[in-house]
Chains A and B, each alone.
Chain A
Amino acid sequence: ETGVTQSPTHLIKTRGQQVTLRCSSQSGHNTVSWYQQALGQGPQFIFQYYREEENGRGNFPPRFSGLQFPNYSSELNVNALELDDSALYLCASSLAGRGAMGYTFGSGTRLTVV
């Protein structure tokens, strides 16, 4: 069984630009969620996708958006990048209805905004 894979692993962008991060969920999982982790902090929930629709969102502005594809992979898009968007972005997958069970996380994409 494959785990969660994220790409790219590192990325440097300029303030004001747009970025797309990608995630392939673990085999058999149909739900994908995204988290932002600033240095020295715990991950913060951005949003979750199930059946290609967003079904939960944390306290993040609309310039953070996402997609889930029929194969359950997902993208996180961030528009109008700000310096504070510099963080580790984590993708996690799970099986809907088994939320009480564990999530599988990827190793993340390290985004630096300059």
Chain B
Amino acid sequence: DAKTTQPNSMESNEEEPVHLPCNHSTISGTDYIHWYRQLPSQGPEYVIHGLTSNVNNRMASLAIAEDRKSSTLILHRATLRDAAVYYCILRDSNSGYALNFGKGTSLLVTP
């Protein structure tokens, strides 16, 4: 799987939107962009994924650049429960299995 680059940490105020960036300049045409988050003392949790078009679900939105070399996970209103490590992962739908986690972005949400 191609590699991704994320900031080590970010901070946000509660109730404000959060934009978590991810660079993936070597992305291939069959790579899906996945986001997972890991709350303290829990396993990773699926957040959202997309291929080319922007995606929305109840948890977040995913904005994908037109050239697909970067993407942004958007939390519309951060809450204290959103404090977690967020992982951006590229996954080739043709090659099967492994999720290649990096170190992710540690999001701190302050009241």
- The answer to whether A and B assemble together is yes
B-binding residues in A (CB < 8 A): 4, 31, 33, 35, 41-45, 48, 55-56, 58, 90, 92, 99-108
Q: Which residues of chain B from 58 to 100 have any CB-CB distance to chain A below 8 Å in the complex?
A: 85, 87, 91, 93, 96-100
CA distance A31 to B103 in the complex (A): 25
Q: How large is the interface on B (under 10, 10 to 19, 20 to 34, 35 or more residues)?
A: 20 to 34
Q: Nearest Cβ distance between residue B91 and chain A, in whole angstroms?
A: 7
Q: Nearest Cβ distance between residue A68 and chain B, in whole angstroms?
A: 13
Beta-carbon contact of A55 and B97 below 8 Å? yes
Beta-carbon contact of B91 and A100 below 8 Å? yes
**For residue A33, which residues in chain B have a CB less than 8 angstroms away from its CB?**
97-98
Q: Nearest Cβ distance between residue A101 and chain B, in whole angstroms?
A: 7
- A-B pairs with beta carbons under 8 A, tally: 61
Q: Which of A41, A44, A106 lies in contact with B43, CB distance below 8 A?
A: A106
Beta-carbon contact of A43 and B44 below 8 Å? yes
Q: Nearest Cβ distance between residue A27 and chain B, in whole angstroms?
A: 16
**For residue A90, which residues in chain B have a CB less than 8 angstroms away from its CB?**
43-44
- The 3 A-B residue pairs with the shortest CB-CB distance, nearest first, are A102-B46, A42-B101, A105-B43
Beta-carbon contact of A105 and B45 below 8 Å? yes
CA distance A41 to B104 in the complex (A): 9
A-binding residues in B (CB < 8 A): 32, 34, 36, 41-46, 49, 85, 87, 91, 93, 96-104
Q: Which of B34, B96, B100, B103 lies in contact with A55, CB distance below 8 A?
A: B96
**For residue A56, which residues in chain B have a CB less than 8 angstroms away from its CB?**
96-98
Q: Nearest Cβ distance between residue A91 and chain B, in whole angstroms?
A: 8
Interface hub of B44, B46, B97 (most chain A Cβ within 10 A): B97
**For residue A58, which residues in chain B have a CB less than 8 angstroms away from its CB?**
98
Q: Nearest Cβ distance between residue A64 and chain B, in whole angstroms?
A: 14
